[in-house]
Amino acid sequence: MNTTSFVPEPPSRATLLADVPKAAKELMSLSHYKWRRQLQRVPEGDGHPIVTVPGFGGADGSMASLRRFLKRAGYDAHPWELGRNLVTQRVTTMDEILEFCAMREGELARRVEQIADRTGEKVSLIGWSMGGVYCNSLAQTHPELVRQVVTLGAPVGDPRGTSTWNILKKMNRSEVPEELQNVDGWLHRKNSQGERKVRTTILYSPNDGAVSRSAAVIENDDLVENIEVDSSHVGFSHNPLVYWVIADRLSQDPYAWQHFDLSMQPRKIQEHFNLL
């Protein structure tokens, strides 16, 4: 695989700096009575199990609000219960990043398998940022366990399209650290897991301060749907519009799947999408 022909740009510095203030507004919107009332109208859940997977540096508390929403909507929502999603040692090579991801994916697979065995049902996975990378990979390696995947601002594509890439370079005190240049190997190992068998919904945002569209989407795959929403990166886990789309996707019958149809959504939802 040759990645030299196109190197994605990470989000701009202005978008990165605006991320946290935007997230604060999203949190306030979630608690506003108009959105609370709107979110009471999401499609009723069928009770199937869901696991939420936090982003890099996050723990289960970062997605607690989303799980409460999903339980109220009628789903059996679970935390991942694997502690903080954080590598403790200094990362200097792509192989170290891959090793950390593989370790976390293995732990997540065991957690999902336990829930699937206990409930007798496949599990839907919702992964935020790096958590979405694990979910995407797990669906490829263990499709027998996974009903569907929803990723929230997850860098499932080229890591050079993320703000983290520049942070890694600075951490390693080099403009172009040779140890972090094996992107071809990274992408090949991520994309060599065979034909996709699990429905995947990718939520990405033009206002994401950490992950650009080029790093977040998967193109030309019939089982993948890329949906653009207005969200900060930090705010994906408590953005009311994101909640609505998640509930809509989780309500889909795996055997009669329908793509997200904005024209079938309430006017308030359509208005928010039309602002993009």
CATH number at residue 59: 3.40.50.1820
> Can you give the pLDDT at residue 101?
82
**Mean pLDDT over all residues of the chain?**
87
For residue 265, tell me if it sits in a domain.
yes
Under-70 pLDDT residues of the chain: 1-6, 89-94, 166-194, 276
Strand order across the 49-53 sheet: 76-79, 49-53, 123-128, 146-152, 199-204, 224-228
For residue 146, tell me if it sits in a domain.
yes
CA 250 to chain centre: 14
Could you list the residue range(s) of the whole structural domain that residue 208 is in? Answer: 13-274
How do residues 28-53 score in pLDDT, each as one tens digit? 999 899 999 999 999 999 999 999 99
Sign of the C-alpha dihedral computed for residues 161, 174, 17 and 34 taken in this order: positive
> Can you give the pLDDT at residue 217?
93
Question: What is the total count of domains within the chain?
Answer: 1
For residue 81, tell me if it sits in a domain.
yes
For residue 161, tell me if it sits in a domain.
yes
> Can you give the pLDDT at residue 191?
55
For residue 137, tell me if it sits in a domain.
yes
Task: State the first-to-last Cα distance of the chain, in angstroms, to the nearest integer.
Answer: 33
For residue 8, tell me if it sits in a domain.
no
Which is nearest to 150 in space by CA: 221, 233, 226, 61? 226
With residue 226 as reference, give the H or E element that holds it: strand 224-228
> Can you give the pLDDT at residue 176?
43
